[in-house]
Amino acid sequence: MNVGFVGLGAMGAAMVRNLLAKGVSVTVWNRSRAIVDELAAEGARAAATVDEAFAADIVLTMLAHDKAMREVLVDSGVLARAGKGVVHVNHATISTDLAAELAVLHAELGLGYVAAPVFGRPPVAQAGGLNVLAAGAPEAVAKAQPVLEMLAAKVWPLGEDPVRANALKLAGNFMIVSAIESMGEAVALGEAYGVAAPDLLDMLSSTLFAAPIYKIYGGMIAERRYSPPGFAAELGLKDVRLVLDAAEAKGLSMPLADLAEASLESLLAGDEKDLDLAALAEIARGRVEGR
């Protein structure tokens, strides 16, 4: 099986390395060339154009946002030029509106389409331990399934409507942001009363909140270790805004998402922007210190 991979940020590159380690033939393309050459040195085939990547049987994409998806896949015409029978698996976190649009476009072009956003940071991706959501036409999902299983600790089937997978992904990312916000506020309260952040977070993430999100992000918050980013704060802000858009489309109010948007905007208004999402906790600390 030949696999194409488009979009080689931290997550995409880690996923490619996992597939290469399992003996998969992967053709890679990215808008910036350096990572393409790096992965080619590790066994991938470098594509000179995005069309070359789409010459594969299955094409995985991990682009940063809606704008990149439109520019690389829609506006470029690559989807219209792709061979019939190709299955496109989109791992990116995108808007529910674009998810619906892509499902219609692929059907019109005779291409398979699977929405397969993932949960997990780059080290988990390289180890093949992601949680992968999967929604799309049964035949497309079935064709993609062997590759998805190489990437995943578990593949979570979500039916035929790709929008469902993207909605669940947005809901999950919203819960991650909310967890970080709550940890930041709890740390600020504890520190104001002389409780060190490592003590507070070690105790709580080992008992009441013994879950990976609290342990991983709690450790980063305790150590104030926010660079290099595994989940960039700017992408977290993008996701929160997509959550708010999706909620508005259904007439829902999400006050915590409003708070998270404001906090992330404050975080990214500073000089340093290349920070992990965990740095959101510093905004809560600043609120207390600034009283």
Whether 121 contacts 231, CB under 8 Å? yes
For the question of residue 169 being annotated catalytic, the response is yes
Amino acid identity for residue 257 in this structure: A
- CA–CA gap between residue 96 and residue 86 (Å, rounded): 23
User: Which residue has tokens 């996923």?
Assistant: 15
Query: How many whole angstroms from its chain centre is CA 78?
Result: 23
Calpha distance 53→48 (Å, rounded): 9
> What is the C-alpha separation between 213 and 264, in angstroms, rounded?
18
Among the listed residues 37, 109, 40, 97, the one whose alpha carbon sits nearest the alpha carbon of residue 73 = 109
Q: Which of 169, 215, 250, 273 is catalytic?
A: 169
The Cβ-side half-sphere exposure at 31, using a 13 Å CA radius, reads 12
The span from the CA of 35 to the CA of 13, in Å, is: 8
Q: Which of 185, 177, 167, 158 lies closest to 276 in space, CA to CA?
A: 177
Amino acid identity at 267: L
Name the residues annotated as catalytic. Answer: 169
